[in-house]
Amino acid sequence: MARLLDIQELNVRFSTPEGPLQAVNNISYGVDAGESVAVVGESGSGKSVSALAIMGLVPKPPGQVSGKVLFEGQDLMTLDNESFRKIRGARIGMVFQEPMTSLNPLLSIGTQLRETMEEHLGLTPTQAEARAADLLKMVGISEAERRLKQYPHHLSGGMRQRVMIAIALSCEPRLLIADEPTTALDVTIQAQILELMKDLTTRLGAALVLITHNLGIVARYTSRVHVMYAGRVVESSETGHIFTNPRHPYTKGLLASVPRLDKPRGERLVPINGQPPDLTRLGPGCAYLPRCGFAVAACRQNAPALEDIAPKHRTACFESAHL
């Protein structure tokens, strides 16, 4: 497979009253054409900010972005805003975290679907209207013609999320980024939305980057996982290998806190102790140190680099060989 997205040493820093905040710290990973990849981590780990940086949506100021984001061989970080607009929404689509705040409450569903296609595909309003109805049907929304005339507040959370997916896929992008697409939905609707995205990206041949804090949903829908903590990628491997052989203490902690059907009934979950670090006050050592039960002296002095420990498996931990 050809490498579709290649992120190289991406950094995002924000200026704050408390000092500089390093939200994304030197992350690198790639996505092949047609591949489904998960980016996992708790709130504040840098998952969403890294996605916004890929899309060119980090506000400047206060944000400062550096590194390379190669999409189809082109470095997106070198583009001006007008050039980026021709790619954003057309060749890269994004499903944002909360559809109620991502959809414009003053515009009808039809208007919001049509404007992307009229802008990027050059369709007439009539052509865009017909395609918008087809898209709503494709994402499982009935009475599509009537829904196009409605506004976001007329729809349920699951239907709004389906509309966001329809908008993101309207120009048949090569890459779809889904940022916590099921956070506000109940469990049944979560499964429907994830199955829908998996099916549509497979059918359209698009690559999928699924951003989530929940390792429990990635095994079914992705082939590779990148685990983030405090702005860094701390472990990266094929999905099955992460679940069977996690080698970073944070990944082990995430997996231990997820209910599993293959465990004895009544067995207690093991929480990760402590709190996420303050990114404006990170010391020279490993950011996970205060919460880690495997720390050694070296962890206090330097942040471990992400290194190969097995084929297609990388981790950033001095003690990974003993875990």
Q: Is 40:212 a contact under the CB 8 Å cutoff?
A: yes
Which domains are delineated in the chain? 3-91+171-263+270-322 (3.40.50.300)
Strands 92-95 and 175-179: parallel
Q: Is 225:242 a contact under the CB 8 Å cutoff?
A: yes
* Sheet arrangement for strand 92-95: 92-95, 175-179, 207-212, 36-40, 224-229, 232-238, 313-315, 307-310
Q: Is 315:247 a contact under the CB 8 Å cutoff?
A: yes
Distance, in Å, from the CA atom of 132 to the CA atom of 150, rounded to the nearest integer, reads 13
Q: Is 15:61 a contact under the CB 8 Å cutoff?
A: yes
Half-sphere exposure of 287 (CA within 13 A, CB side): 24
Average pLDDT of adjacent 10-residue blocks, the chain of 323 residues? 87 92 95 92 92 93 94 93 90 85 91 93 93 90 93 90 89 91 73 80 87 82 94 95 92 85 77 88 91 90 91 90 65
**pLDDT for 322:** 66
Q: For tokens 């903590």, what's the residue? A: 229
pTM given for the model = 0.90
Distance, in Å, from the CA atom of 56 to the CA atom of 40, rounded to the nearest integer, reads 21
**pLDDT for 1:** 54
CB atoms under 10 Å from CB of 105, counted, come to: 9
Q: For tokens 């699924």, what's the residue? A: 210
- How does DSSP assign 285-301, residue by residue? S-TTGGG-SS--THHHH
Distance, in Å, from the CA atom of 96 to the CA atom of 105, rounded to the nearest integer, reads 15
**pLDDT for 2:** 64
Distance, in Å, from the CA atom of 288 to the CA atom of 304, rounded to the nearest integer, reads 11
Amino acid code (one letter) for 14: F
Q: How many residues would you count in the chain?
A: 323
**pLDDT for 321:** 64
Task: Give the CA distances from residue 3 to residues 33, 173, 174, in Å, rounded to whole numbers and listed in that order.
Answer: 6, 15, 12
Angle, alpha carbons 70-30-174 (nearest 5°): 65
Q: Is 166:117 a contact under the CB 8 Å cutoff?
A: no
**pLDDT for 231:** 95
Helix (H, G, I), strand (E, B) or coil at 274: coil
